[in-house]
């Protein structure tokens, strides 16, 4: 069968599962990434809950259509050619935050859907005087993306507070994985290797003082605004921190502050951030990242590794 026909048949089946208002054809992925770049997805669906994810994944597999899971798109560089297949966006998933006290009365279990933003979850925790997620308040990703990446900042990491995650495995079964089973490491977890899809996660938080928790969040967010180029589109720190070193410092020492390709530039405020000054394409960003890696290697012998996930580029 012609690809167009296969796709039309597939989209017809999606329409049996998902309301038309949440199905988008030729959807520009630049609207779904914090870099504000990326070409079109042949089909994009904004899911509301875990059942919809499960059903769409099963359908895509049965019909042999490639699919990609997108959280808040804050750690992604997607090719200007876009994605041929189905993008499942969790951006509008119901947050589904549930809080209940554990037996000791001092600790609480707080769960949320994969699509809930970290900002929303930490704010909800703070309003319930629960501490532990202050570090995450300024990380712009979703709970799912944060578990996948073991997101962290200011001395905290998801692995410090996560109790378990519910994931969909490649056979279509739902597994509950404990913190230990998720094998967290610096900006990684077993989810990447096993291609699991996070549906929901649960965290253990301690009772604290609401005012102090909110003050801590405010202070960390101010530190971010001071140090990071939040006025520009970016995907946060572009590179992983090489052991014992800082990517930003290596880039600055190589004389690359402000280096640009088109509207993609190494931020002058924080060299670890590649920013989009306005009209950068993903190709510009990709070329700049490659140039930074090459020049830092020439200068220091350190091979920088992107922290951001690339979609649609040859490795
Ligand atoms: C201004 C700025 C500041 C940032 N600061 C920090 C920081 O301090 N610390 C930090 O760690 N990160 C930071 N980031 C990066 C980013 O916010 C985190 O990596 C975040 O965890 C990514 O979540 P996301 O939902 O946006 O994931 P996406 O960008 O949508 O996806 C990232 C990867 O995870 C996969 N994925 C997403 N959701 C799921 C899911 N439910 N199941 C399976 N796979 C999934 C995607 O397929 C992709 O491979 C920053 C980004 C920006 C733009």
Looking at 164, 187, 218, the residue that finishes a domain is: 218
Measure 139 CA to ligand 1 centroid, in angstroms.
8
Measured by CA distance, the residue closest to atom 8 of ligand 1 is: 153
200 lies in some domain: yes
pLDDT tens-digit profile of 175-219? 999 999 999 999 999 999 999 999 999 999 999 999 999 999 999
Question: Is residue 270 located within the same domain as residue 183?
Answer: no
Domain count across the chain? 3
Measure 69 CA to ligand 1 centroid, in angstroms.
11
Measure 63 CA to ligand 1 centroid, in angstroms.
28
**More confident of the two residues 237 and 315:** 237
Question: Is residue 236 located within the same domain as residue 172?
Answer: no
Question: Is residue 102 located within the same domain as residue 203?
Answer: yes
Looking at 194, 218, 242, the residue that finishes a domain is: 218
Mean pLDDT for the stretch of residues 156-162: 98
pLDDT tens-digit profile of 95-124? 999 999 997 889 999 999 999 999 999 999
Question: Is residue 84 located within the same domain as residue 179?
Answer: no
Residue 69 binned pLDDT confidence (cut-offs 50, 70, 90)? very high
> Tell me, what CATH number does 267's domain have?
3.90.78.10
Alpha-helical regions (H) of the chain: 3-17, 50-62, 118-127, 143-149, 158-161, 190-194, 210-227, 247-253, 282-300
Question: Is residue 65 located within the same domain as residue 12?
Answer: yes
- Active-site positions read 187, 237, 307
300 lies in some domain: yes
Question: Is residue 213 located within the same domain as residue 234?
Answer: no
> Tell me, what CATH number does 75's domain have?
3.30.43.10
Looking at 71, 89, 107, the residue that finishes a domain is: 89
Eight-state DSSP code of residue 44:
E
Mean pLDDT for the stretch of residues 43-60: 98
Question: Is residue 236 located within the same domain as residue 192?
Answer: no
pLDDT tens-digit profile of 76-99? 999 999 999 999 999 999 999 999
> Tell me, what CATH number does 130's domain have?
3.30.465.10
Q: Specify the pLDDT at position 1.
A: 73
What is the position in ligand 1's atom list of the atom closest to the CA of 147?
A: 21
* Residues near ligand 1 (Cβ within 6 A): 34, 69-76, 90, 114, 139-142, 144-146, 148-149, 151-153, 191, 197-198, 230, 234-236, 309
Measured by CA distance, the residue closest to atom 33 of ligand 1 is: 145
- Exposure pattern of 147-179 as b/e (b: 16+ CB <10 Å)? bbbbbbbeebbbbbbbbbbbbbeeeeeeeebeb
Question: Is residue 157 located within the same domain as residue 239?
Answer: no
pLDDT tens-digit profile of 232-245? 999 999 999 999 99
Residue 222 has pLDDT above 80, yes or no: yes
Question: Is residue 274 located within the same domain as residue 182?
Answer: no
Q: Could you list the residue range(s) of the whole structural domain that residue 121 is in?
A: 98-218
Report the sign of the C-alpha dihedral through residues 185, 186, 191, 194, in that order: negative
Q: Specify the pLDDT at position 138.
A: 97
223 lies in some domain: no
What is the position in ligand 1's atom list of the atom closest to the CA of 75?
A: 29
pLDDT tens-digit profile of 267-312? 999 999 999 999 999 999 999 999 999 999 999 999 999 999 999 9
Ligand 1 pocket test, pick from 34, 37, 71 with the greatest ligand atom count within 8 Å of Cβ, gives 71
Question: Is residue 108 located within the same domain as residue 209?
Answer: yes
Measured by CA distance, the residue closest to atom 19 of ligand 1 is: 75
């Amino acid at each position: 069968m012609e690809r167009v026909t296969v796709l039309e048949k597939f989209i017809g089946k999606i329409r049996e599962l998902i309301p038309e208002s949440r199905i988008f054809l030729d959807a520009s992925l630049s609207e779904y990434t914090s870099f504000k770049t990326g070409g079109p997805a042949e089909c994009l669906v904004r899911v509301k809950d875990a059942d919809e994810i499960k059903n769409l994944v099963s359908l895509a597999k049965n019909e042999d259509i490639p699919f990609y899971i997108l959280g808040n798109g804050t750690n992604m560089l997607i090719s200007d050619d876009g994605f041929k297949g189905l993008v499942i966006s969790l951006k509008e998933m119901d947050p589904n935050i549930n809080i209940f006290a554990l037996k000791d009365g001092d600790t609480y279990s707080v769960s949320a859907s994969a699509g809930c933003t970290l900002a929303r979850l930490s704010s909800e925790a703070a309003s319930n005087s629960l501490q532990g997620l202050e570090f995450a308040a300024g990380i712009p990703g979703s709970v799912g993306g944060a578990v996948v990446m073991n997101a962290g900042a200011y001395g905290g990491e998801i692995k410090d507070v996560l109790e378990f995650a519910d994931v969909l495995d490649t056979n279509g079964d739902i597994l509950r994985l404990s913190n230990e089973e998720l094998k967290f490491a610096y900006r990684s977890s077993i989810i990447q290797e096993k291609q699991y899809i996070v549906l929901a996660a649960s965290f253990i938080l301690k009772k604290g003082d609401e005012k102090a928790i909110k003050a801590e969040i405010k202070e960390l967010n101010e530190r971010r605004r001071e140090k990071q180029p939040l006025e520009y589109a970016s995907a946060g720190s572009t590179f992983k921190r090489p052991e014992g070193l800082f990517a930003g410092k290596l880039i600055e020492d190589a004389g690359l502050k402000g280096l640009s390709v088109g509207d993609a530039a190494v931020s002058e405020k924080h060299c670890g951030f590649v920013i989009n000054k306005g009209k950068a394409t993903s190709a510009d960003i990709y070329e700049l990242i490659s140039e930074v890696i090459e020049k830092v290697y020439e200068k220091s012998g350190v091979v920088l590794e992107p922290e951001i996930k690339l979609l649609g580029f040859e490795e």
